[in-house]
Amino acid sequence: MYKPTKKVHCYKLTFLDEFKQNSQNSRNSVNPNTVFANNEMSLHDIEIYGFDYDYTLAFYSRHLHTLIFNIARDILIQEHRYPEGLREYEYIPNFVVRGLHYDVQKALLMKIDAFHYIQLGTVYRGLHPVPDKEVIAMYDGCHVPLENMSDFYGKSSHGHTMKQFMDIFSLPEMNLLCCVNDYFMKHNIDYEPVHLYKDVKAAIGDVHVKGIMYRAVEADMENYISYGEQTHAVLNKLYEDGKKMFLITNSPFDFVDRGMIYIVGKDWRDLFDIVIVQADKPGFFNDRRKPFRRVTDKGVLHWDRIHKLEKGKIYKQGNLYEFLRLTGWRGSKVLYFGDHIYSDLADLTLKHGWRTGAIIPELRKEIKIMNTEQYVHLMTWLQGLTGLIEHMQVGGEVRPPNDLTKDIFNSQFGSLFRTYHNPTYFSRRLSRFADIYMASLSCLLNYDFQHTFFPRRTPLQHESPFWPEQTSAGALKMPFIPHRTTTEE
């Protein structure tokens, strides 16, 4: 059990009363229904709202993760001739978090921070953690060079040895990779990690491409789709205010149509000015070669050239440059929402100046944890102890509270947003590519269309803390938002 030295204990007593007071002052909870801003943005300027479908308009229950895992596992066994013994593995909820990196050549899953440093204690081979000393030996420290990191879209290509799992659909893929690795190690089977990664990736892809997942969801909407009423309320609010809306999704029309009928009703297409399916994002945002093609309700493809994107009609593929030419919807009057920071948002904000909103469902769980008395106590003590350690230059004693704050979110990988003091690599990309972010679209119901979102001004490391919430020890307090009354739990 962790015990501070006498010197640290003396400093602790000196500041204890102040930290207790700070802890009491921090009991204003963060509202999980808040829209958080990385960049100033006014809804007054937004005339057009765009949406992805999966995990943006349609939210899925955890049953879907289990379904994807089971189908992909069986594909590995039946089509890729993997051992029958893999059937003993089942999907493990809460084992992994989004945003993790996977070293394809070493078969290691890990969390990396915004500065490309591996968070020790979060490196897993199969279902078991790798000792810190072994990790340091393999990577000659904890830093991962830029050329080894995943590419711009989080993929392992063109010499990059890391793959970053950024979307929610990747949770069963990470689970399956860990389970297959675990089986091979447990049975002392020699295998090539690169082949394993490609086979698992292909199996997961087949679940989508072959329509297996789509058919299962369509057959049992009630079991798989959640949050329908909130999505309907947001779309109606935008429609009644005269906003234009469009949908760009990689999913096929039949799947989207049945889902939107379940969520909104048979007249869902009346809400949208343009509907584009099987768009092949992120290629949709970069490849100028693919023209739009109209598709009927029955899936029949038309061969005529598209001169106008019309309301009530369905279009397939296409590209953003043609979309901009046909609609004239350019720049900061457009706000697009998606859950995949790379495939949905990155190109739009970097190349086209659209405003972007990230949907991060994990926020609800993390904020609920942050609002607990246990978390506030741990953070208050950690901030105070960090200030004392910095003053006294005694480095070893800051680790135990850090480990506790990791375990409170996820015992394997910790928070989606932090690696101890630093933001995660996921957080870094989120802050770069999303103007605003929220747990679900329903958070927009708390704001009118004149609202301006401002990022909180927190001092840079070289700036003096001018406002009274700063502690005298020099550690910044966590920002909190007073609770806002809403209709959503």
> For residue 395, which amino acid is it?
G
Three-state secondary structure of 234-274: HHHHHHHCCCEEEEECCCCHHHHHHHHHHHCCCCHHHHCCE
Choosing from 54, 103, 199, 344, which is the catalytic residue?
Answer: 54
Peptide bond connecting 282 to the previous residue in cis, omega within 30 degrees of 0:
yes
CA atoms within 13 A of residue 479's CA, in its CB half-sphere = 9
For residue 188, the tally of other CB atoms under 10 A from its CB is 6
Tokens describing residue 448 = 């009118």
Helix/strand/coil for 79 = helix
> For residue 122, which amino acid is it?
T
339 assigned binding-site residue: yes
Task: Judge whether 471 and 15 are in contact, CB under 8 Å.
Answer: no
Q: What is the largest CA-CA distance in the chain?
A: 81
Between 193-209 and 63-79, two packed helices, what is the crossing angle to 10 degrees? 120
Q: Is 52 a known active-site residue?
A: yes
Residue 337: strand pairing partners: 51, 357
Q: Is 407 a known active-site residue?
A: no
- Report CA 177 to chain centroid distance, whole Å: 19
54 assigned binding-site residue: yes
Q: How far is CA 298 from CA 234, 253, 301, 364, 445, in A?
A: 28, 9, 9, 39, 35
Choosing from 45, 52, 113, 435, which is the catalytic residue?
Answer: 52
Task: Judge whether 75 and 87 are in contact, CB under 8 Å.
Answer: no
- 289-322 in b/e form (b: 16+ CB < 10 A) is eeebbbbeeeeeeeeeebeebeeebbbbbbbbeb
270 assigned binding-site residue: no
Query: Binding site: what residues are annotated?
Result: 52, 54, 339
Query: Binding site for GMP: what residues are annotated?
Result: 54
Which residues are identified as catalytic? 52, 54
Query: Binding site for Mg(2+): what residues are annotated?
Result: 52, 339
